[in-house]
Amino acid sequence: MTIAELRKDYHVEICKRILGQKNNVPNFADVSSKTSKILAQGIIKELNLPLCENPPVGQTVGMIFAKLTMNFLNRSFQLLHNIRHGKWLFSASQASIGIAAFDQYEHLADLSNLIKTHKELAATLGGDYFITPDIIIGREPLTDSEINLKRLVFGKDKVSTLTSLRKKNYQNPKPILHASISCKWTIRSDRSQNTRTEALNLIRNRKGKTPHIVCVTAEPMPTRLASLAMGTGDLDCVYHMALTELIASLNRSGNEDQKDMLNALINGKRLRDISDLPFDLAS
């Protein structure tokens, strides 16, 4: 199966389970914005797929969007195994897996226990340490036999004893957090700020390598995409679930201001299509 086919399957599932309309307004458009409604309708026309007759509402939309996006990335990583080897862990259920379960952030579990024991510390330390991304991708540490599979890398010499990628270095080895992915069905100013705050906390609170930090969205308005995509230092990049379809919709709308903004985001390497994400994560 090709990336294009996986992308198509992703859109089929999104249309089947999430994307729908109420009073002819797509459920990822801003009902108060004529431009948003036009662009969203254009994306639907380009997708040309049956829509969900009873689309979910509230937090359920975000949960399903995250799950479908995770499935797409998981299947893509299997396709790219020759590019990015390893044992990968995918999760969109943060009730069971949080960032403290990963090598770079395991110290946060100790901090959490400390705050529970000494509640007076909560006011000082706050709760910004305990991040629960919508999607987590982790890499399992490797045994020496796996590392030595094709050629001898480790012999009897005592070297490379502190790296987290080598399983034998630690009594209870943790997976390495490879990527933290925020999924936003639509973008509003408060959601943009929350995503940036989570990203900065992941950067500041790590011990070790910084994971890929990205956002996936279905937001149709380029100016709202810009509120999250513009600038550098927090998010690696923003990925649209149907960027090709958004470009076609925008070209048809004739809205030059929104078109200029979209081109600025794409040419400035701040916005890409969902099909680009697996390759960026494999880099």
Residue 137 maps to which CATH number? 3.40.50.10010
**Which pairs from 232-235 meet CB under 8 Å and 24+ separation?**
234/196, 234/199, 234/200, 234/203, 235/195, 235/196, 235/199
Residues 175-188: b if buried by 16+ CB within 10 A, e if exposed: bbbbbbbbbbbbbe
Euclidean distance between CA atoms 91 and 255, whole angstroms: 39
Q: Does the residue 200 lie in any domain?
A: yes
Euclidean distance between CA atoms 242 and 230, whole angstroms: 19
Q: Which residues, given as ranges, of the chain have pLDDT below 50?
A: 95
First and final C-alpha spacing in the chain: 21
Nearest to 18 by CA among 190, 218, 189: 218
Q: What's the number of domains the chain is made of? A: 1
What DSSP state is assigned to residue 136? Answer: E
Euclidean distance between CA atoms 69 and 92, whole angstroms: 9
- pTM of structure: 0.92
Torsion over CA: 276, 269, 64, 16 (sign): negative
By residue range, what is the domain housing residue 163?
Answer: 3-152+159-254+273-281
Q: Does the residue 267 lie in any domain?
A: no
* Angle at the Cα of 177 from the Cα atoms of 174 and 179, rounded to 5 degrees: 160
Euclidean distance between CA atoms 29 and 103, whole angstroms: 39
Q: Does the residue 260 lie in any domain?
A: no
Q: Name the token pair of 277.
A: 């994400």
Give me the pLDDT at residue 108, please: 84
Between the CA of residue 232 and those of 236, 259, 268, what are the distances in Å? 7, 21, 11
- Quick one: how many helices (H) and strands (E) in the chain? 11, 8
Euclidean distance between CA atoms 271 and 135, whole angstroms: 19
Q: Does the residue 231 lie in any domain?
A: yes
Give me the pLDDT at residue 95, please: 45
Euclidean distance between CA atoms 234 and 131, whole angstroms: 15
Give me the pLDDT at residue 232, please: 79
At which residue do the structure tokens 């689309």 appear?
Answer: 55
Cβ atoms of residues 32 and 224 within 8 Å: no
Give me the pLDDT at residue 107, please: 86
* C-alpha Rg value of the chain to the nearest Å: 21
Q: Does the residue 259 lie in any domain?
A: no
Q: Does the residue 16 lie in any domain?
A: yes
Reduce the DSSP state of residue 108 to 3 states and report it.
helix
Euclidean distance between CA atoms 77 and 73, whole angstroms: 6
What DSSP state is assigned to residue 81? Answer: T
Q: Name the token pair of 112.
A: 């959490």
